Amino acid sequence: MHCMVFRNSVELEKNNATPLFDWGKYYIKDGRYFMPLSVQVHHSFADGLHVGKFAQKIQEYLDNL
C-alpha cells in the first residue's frame, strides 16, 4: 500500500498558534508536476502575506529540482 497523503491536521484549540500543513501525493498532468498543499495558520500568528511568501518559496524550490 502506498501513502497518498501526509497529514498534520489536528483539532484547532482556541489558543493554538501551530501552523498546520497537509500535502498530497504529487501527480503529472500535461507534462507538469502537481502536488496538493494546504496551509492553515491562526490569523494572530501569520497572515496571507506570510503564507504567500511560503508558497512562493516552495514553488521556487520545486521548480529547481
The domain tally of the chain equals: 1
**pLDDT tens string 15-54:** 667 888 888 898 999 998 888 998 888 887 888 898 999 9
The predicted model scores a pTM of 0.63
Any domain includes 12: no
Domain range for 37 is 20-63
Closest CA to 37 of 59, 17, 12: 59
Residue 1 lies in a domain: no
Specify if 5 maps to a domain. Answer: no
Identify whether 53 is part of a domain: yes
Q: Decide if 47 is inside a domain.
A: yes
Does residue 41 belong to any structural domain of this protein?
Answer: yes
Catalytic entry in 2, 42, 43, 50: 43
Strand 20-24 and strand 37-40: the pairing is antiparallel
Domain membership of residue 42 (yes or no) is: yes
The yes-or-no answer on residue 43 being catalytic is: yes
Helix (H) or strand (E) holding 55: helix 48-63
Domain membership of residue 8 (yes or no) is no
